[in-house]
Amino acid sequence: MAYFKAYSHIGVHEEMLKDHVRTNTYRNAIMHHKDLISGKVVLDVGCGTGVLSIFCAFAGATRVYAVDASDIALQAMEIVRENELSDKVIVLHGRIEDVEIEEKVDVIISEWMGYMLLYESMLGSVIFARDKWLKPGGLILPSHASLYLAPITNSHRYQDSIYFWRDVYGIKMSCMMPLAKQCTFMEPSVETISGENVLTWPTVVAQVDCYTIQAPDLETITAAYKFTSMLQEVVYFNLWSPRAMIVPAPLHGFAFWFDVEFNGPVRQKFKKQASQPLDVNMQNSNPSNKKKKADVSIVLSTAPEDAPTHWQQYWRPMQSDPADEVCNMGHIALEGLQHESCCAEICTMNTSQHEPYYAPKLSNMADVAVVADVP
Amino acid sequence: MAYFKAYSHIGVHEEMLKDHVRTNTYRNAIMHHKDLISGKVVLDVGCGTGVLSIFCAFAGATRVYAVDASDIALQAMEIVRENELSDKVIVLHGRIEDVEIEEKVDVIISEWMGYMLLYESMLGSVIFARDKWLKPGGLILPSHASLYLAPITNSHRYQDSIYFWRDVYGIKMSCMMPLAKQCTFMEPSVETISGENVLTWPTVVAQVDCYTIQAPDLETITAAYKFTSMLQEVVYFNLWSPRAMIVPAPLHGFAFWFDVEFNGPVRQKFKKQASQPLDVNMQNSNPSNKKKKADVSIVLSTAPEDAPTHWQQYWRPMQSDPADEVCNMGHIALEGLQHESCCAEICTMNTSQHEPYYAPKLSNMADVAVVADVP
């Protein structure tokens, strides 16, 4: 049994370490803040194999407390020893809420992000550690996080799983298509969404300032959105016809992704905007947000247009009629994201028909409740 | 809940239909035996979406009984209707042991093969149907099956998962290697093994003649094997050295695969050989068995050197010292393969040391008991 625990751990850590975007961005961020780390005391919340702690030691930290509740801490101790850093990196095997640290720290580092940023994430532990041990004016890496939402199209998947049934080795199987459609669009999934599938600029669902956020802020996140699709696609009347129509690309659901920034304690530019209705889309405020961020700070992005990471994207499928998707507005509520079970309610209102209506297609989605009170 | 059942079904059937090697070989076999199918009565055991039944109708069958115990039978009925074959293809929703068929049949067709040929397979249902309904001299497709075993090397996986830990972003993590080795070589898995990884000719573990096999024959399968590796690899002393050594490729376990043949009722060439000790290796008897088969009958092969199928190969990993693997002999027992739980005991004896010994490394394998009585 202990064996299997170890197995799952080593597989997970191998995957995370092999995510070069993740690990290299953390290393770059640590080296970028060398001045604030050298000669200082660091706390690594959820240290895993200890790689971030050791990067901090390489950056000149006097002492690093590396804390992990899982058995991987025992391996981290071995790794610290193998790198002859036992005098600098102190591995503590236990929950951050239970371990004892005798001094205040200058820096907190943590890789706490889960799928959809907050799903089963350790951000609560980072907040606990910050309030208990971080010196005033101390550094938190990462410092800020944003969760994004955008409508996507996924025609390739649609054709591959739905249209497939039209003709199977010369046998007609169109009668399978309704069931195939229901099955494909039933369950949310973590998968890779290409930048080409995103219908328009994303909206910001949540913003986290690690210097100021409080645990209750994470319990329920709500945001309103308004999307106008920018993507059109060419549809041929049939396989052999040269005639084609340009139509709005069909909406196949919503994708979530996130990025985190590594800023010093001074630059606390973020304000919580997530609850403001219908004004948070990036096309209104900041169409090239990511690029602007890249000028001023180090960003770890899991966006569809960026290099892939092990987080991929979170796709919440939705069936809809291809002609409808010119404009979409609605309301999203995320609950219990930090716990094992989470609930994301997406309510959409489609304005392309001039008479707004509540998308009834959502009722196909197994674990999604449709909220009726869209503004 | 019914929804989820349907979901799992549709996914499984999509995967099987998209396995072109599987479906096209069946279609070819049906068309190859058109003379024996046209104007005749066919029984399709475990019909799924009904694709094989419809191929038989296309080949001129007067009547096809398509039987499936799962809810996919309801979809098969729809598909038969959509293809206007309801007068010819009769879909029966029930277990083959329970359904009623009023007449004897000329042909039994079935795609009954599971992983490792027999794991959770429907061969028992085919035997039942044969004994109850097949006319004397009737046709069974497929007619014969063979399960193969060969030692394999998997250095790429080894390097990717074990050597990875030597240097992780400039941090030494060699202390993780023993755990990583244990984890990688602990559990058997279904995966794609390349033909280049196979150390020598396979041995035949089991042979099935669908015309004559009886259910008790499937309860326990035992076979002895003797392998002499034919594969060597070049090992460099270190990354920068031009000096290299040619050594036997290391043994990383055993792979199982199978093929099935589609022969008429006359050609019953197979004899059960699986229990004969140490003389069943193909290098002794029939080094190009597959090619010979291809001359005289239609073969669906899941061998590593052939086009991939959804069955892939079954890899039973085994840790061993690289220098040992010149010659391997041993004994394998497969039990309960037809049931949900199965047990494959592999006992190896290595003769490269002149003093044969029983490989103690097997004790790492979670569900494998080492048999001590090797001949």
**Mean pLDDT within B209-226:** 90
pLDDT recorded at residue B1: 34
Confidence bin at B347 (pLDDT 50/70/90): low
In this predicted structure, the answer to whether residue B366 has a pLDDT above a threshold of 60 is no
Helix (H) or strand (E) holding B29: helix B20-32
For range B156-172, the mean pLDDT? 91
Banded pLDDT at B346 (limits 50, 70, 90): confident
Domain ranges of chain B: 2-111, 146-371
Distance separating alpha carbons of residues A13 and B76, to the nearest angstrom = 45
**Low-confidence winner among A253-267, A326-340, B246-260, B269-283 (lowest mean pLDDT):** B269-283
The fraction of chain A above a pLDDT of 70, given in percent, is 76
Look up the ipTM and state it: 0.82
Whether B146-371 and B2-111 are alike in CATH topology: the answer is no
pLDDT at A281 over 70: no
Active site residue A325: no
% of chain A surpassing 90 pLDDT: 53
Residue B32's pLDDT is what?
A: 96
Question: Quick one: closest CA in A to B23, which residue?
Answer: A169
Q: pLDDT confidence of A192, banded at 50, 70, 90?
A: very high
Q: Annotated catalytic, A15?
A: no
More confident position, A342 or B210: B210
**Which pLDDT score is estimated for B227?**
84
> In this predicted model, what pLDDT tens digit does every residue of A292-318 receive, in sequence order?
454 568 999 999 999 999 999 999 887
Residue A246 in this model has a pLDDT that exceeds 90? no
- Put simply, the answer to whether B176 touches A10 (Cβ < 8 Å) is yes
Q: Which B residues, 34 through 63, put their C-beta within 8 Å of a C-beta on chain A?
A: 49, 51, 54-55, 58
Tell me: the pLDDT tens digits for B273-291?
433 333 444 444 443 444 4
Residue A189 CB neighbours (<10 A): 12
pLDDT of residue B67: 98
**Tokens found for residue A318:** 């939705």
Q: Which of A171, A177, A367 is the best residue to mutate to test the B interface, defined by the most B CB atoms within 10 Å of its own CB?
A: A171
What pLDDT band is residue B228 in, cutting at 50, 70 and 90? confident
Q: What is the mean pLDDT of residues A138-166?
A: 92
- Judging contacts by C-beta atoms under 8 Å, the chain A residues touching residue B18 are 164
Look at residue A273 in the predicted model and tell me its pLDDT. Answer: 43
Which position has the higher pLDDT, B238 or B306? B306
Direct distance between the N- and C-terminal alpha carbons of chain B, in angstroms, rounded to an integer = 52
Mean predicted lDDT score pLDDT of chain A:
81
Reported as a single tens digit per residue, the pLDDT across B303-330 is 999 999 999 999 988 766 544 445 667 7
pLDDT at position B292 over 70: no
In chain A the first and final C-alpha atoms are separated, in Å, by: 52
Say yes or no to pLDDT of A88 above 90: yes
Cis preceding linkage at B142, omega within 30 = yes
The residue among A78 and A267 whose pLDDT is bigger is A78
d(CA B166, CA B172): 6
- For domain B2-111, the CATH architecture is 3-Layer(aba) Sandwich (3.40)
Q: Does residue A84 surpass a pLDDT of 90?
A: yes
Q: Which stretches within chain A are classed as H helix?
A: 2-18, 20-32, 34-37, 51-58, 72-82, 123-133, 155-161, 177-184, 282-285, 289-296
The residue of chain B with its CA nearest to that of A4 is B183
**Does residue B170 have a pLDDT over 80?**
yes
Task: Note the pLDDT of residue A370.
Answer: 29
Q: Which CATH architecture best describes the domain B146-371?
A: Distorted Sandwich (2.70)
Mean pLDDT within B119-127? 93
CB-based contact (8 Å) between A84 and chain B?
no
Contact A255, A152 (CB under 8 A): yes
Helix (H, G, I), strand (E, B) or coil at B204: strand
Distance CA A149, CA A301 (A): 14
Mean pLDDT of chain B: 81
Flag whether pLDDT at B252 surpasses 60.
yes
Q: What is the pLDDT of residue B86?
A: 97
Q: Give the largest Cα separation in chain A, rounded.
A: 76
SS3 B134: strand
Stretch among A188-202, B79-93, B113-127, B215-229 having the lowest mean pLDDT? B215-229
**Gap from A27 CA to chain B (nearest CA, Å):** 9
Residue A292: phi, psi to the nearest 5?
-65, -45
**Tokens (6 digits) for A119:** 């799903």
Place B221 in a pLDDT band, splitting at 50, 70 and 90. Answer: confident
Residue B4: predicted pLDDT: 42
Burial status of residue B240 (CB atoms within 10 A of its CB: 0-12, 13-18, 19 or more): exposed
Could you say which of A120, A187, A219, A305 is catalytic? A120
